[in-house]
């Protein structure tokens, strides 16, 4: 399998007032295309930070990251935003849907930035919502959905642009066991059936077990 993500000697340090807090230390990692990778580790080990760096929503203090040949660490903010819109789908622990938009409109949101026509956008959104099994809830607002359904809408939003990479930060962390199982099954399906590369941060060993590979982080280094 071809390598999709190259993390080269990446370090990340946060500044809190006058203190510098190291989070990642000289970390190197390759993720092959089509892999379902789980990142585990205790709180503060740097797993979410690593996920953010891979997804281009934060920048490393040192080192470089490339995704499918694009060195994202050297992109401007505007170029990085465009890259994120085209290449990455995000799934958050708390879903982060826009409360005033329906399920359909939430999933459509990333497509507003594309040159797709209204009819094309509708087709993409309906397909994404069908994949996550919410074809009949398109007009529902987030508050009218259960947690599991909200997360499925978030996954539909993540895949609607057909990204090469899906990053998920504790996607089952706020769900009951049944809903969590549904989400994990859906992620597995996206990986196996739709060949999406997935990087998932989790505390849950059961969730991690669904992945092809589990990496442990400890104090900013791979254990």
Partner 1 sequence: MKLIKLMFKNAFRHKLRSFLTIAGIAIAVIAFDILRTVVNAWDAGIEATAANRLITRQAVSFIFPLPYSYRDRIKNIEGVEQVTFATWFGGVYKDKSNFFGRLAVEAETAFDIYSEYVVPPDQLEAFKRERNSCVVGSDLVKLYGFKLGDIVRLEGDIYPGTWDFVVKGIYTPNIKNGDATQMFFHWEYVDERMKKESPFRAGEVGWYIVRIAEPNRSGDISAKIDDLFKNSSAETKTESERAFAQGFMSSVSSILTAMNVLSWVIIGIIMLVLANTMIMASRERTKEYAVMKVLGFAGKHLSWLIIGESMVIAFTGGVVGILLSFPIVQGIGEAIPKNIFPVFNLEYHILVYAFVAALLVGLISSVFPIIKALRTPIVEGFRHIG
- The site for partner 1 (CB under 8 A) is made up of 52, 55, 57-58, 77-78, 81-82, 84-86, 90, 92, 96, 98-101, 105, 108-110, 112-113, 157
Instruction: Return phi, psi of residue 26, to 5°.
Output: 50, 50
Nearest residue (CB) to partner 1, 138 versus 210: 138
Q: Minimum distance from CB of 90 to partner 1 (Å)?
A: 5
Q: Minimum distance from CB of 174 to partner 1 (Å)?
A: 14
Q: How many CB atoms lie within 10 A of CB 82?
A: 13
Nearest residue (CB) to partner 1, 101 versus 222: 101
Q: Minimum distance from CB of 58 to partner 1 (Å)?
A: 5
Helix or strand (DSSP H, E) at 104: helix 103-108
Nearest residue (CB) to partner 1, 81 versus 222: 81
Nearest residue (CB) to partner 1, 13 versus 85: 85
Tokens 């998920």, located at residue: 168
Nearest residue (CB) to partner 1, 57 versus 214: 57
Dist. CA 87–CA 24, nearest whole Å: 24
Q: Minimum distance from CB of 95 to partner 1 (Å)?
A: 10
Q: Which of 66, 67, 140, 143 is nearest to 107 (CA)?
A: 140
Dist. CA 144–CA 150, nearest whole Å: 9
- Yes or no: say if 48 and 169 are a contact pair by the CB < 8 Å rule: yes
Q: Minimum distance from CB of 118 to partner 1 (Å)?
A: 9
């Amino acid at each position: 399998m071809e390598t999709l993500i190259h993390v080269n000697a990446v370090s990340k340090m946060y500044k809190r007032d006058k203190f510098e807090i190291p989070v990642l230390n000289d970390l190197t990692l390759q993720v092959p295309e089509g892999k379902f990778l789980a990142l585990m580790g205790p709180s503060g080990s740097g797993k979410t930070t690593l996920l953010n760096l891979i997804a281009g929503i934060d920048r490393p203090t040192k080192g470089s990251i490339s995704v499918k040949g694009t060195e994202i660490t050297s992109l401007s903010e505007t170029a990085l935003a465009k890259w994120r819109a085209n290449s990455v789908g995000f799934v958050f622990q708390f879903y982060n849907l826009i409360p005033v938009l329906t399920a359909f409109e939430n999933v459509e949101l990333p497509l507003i930035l594309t040159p797709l026509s209204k009819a094309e956008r509708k087709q993409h959104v309906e397909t994404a919502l069908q994949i996550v099994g919410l074809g009949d809830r398109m007009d529902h607002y987030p508050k009218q959905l259960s947690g599991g359904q909200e997360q499925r809408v978030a996954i539909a939003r993540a895949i609607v642009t057909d990204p090469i990479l899906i990053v998920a930060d504790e996607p089952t962390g706020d769900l009951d066991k049944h809903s969590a199982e549904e989400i994990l099954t859906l992620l597995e399906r996206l990986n196996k059936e739709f060949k999406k590369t997935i990087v998932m941060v989790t505390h849950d060993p059961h969730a991690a077990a669904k992945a092809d590979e589990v990496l442990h982080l400890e104090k900013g280094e791979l254990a």
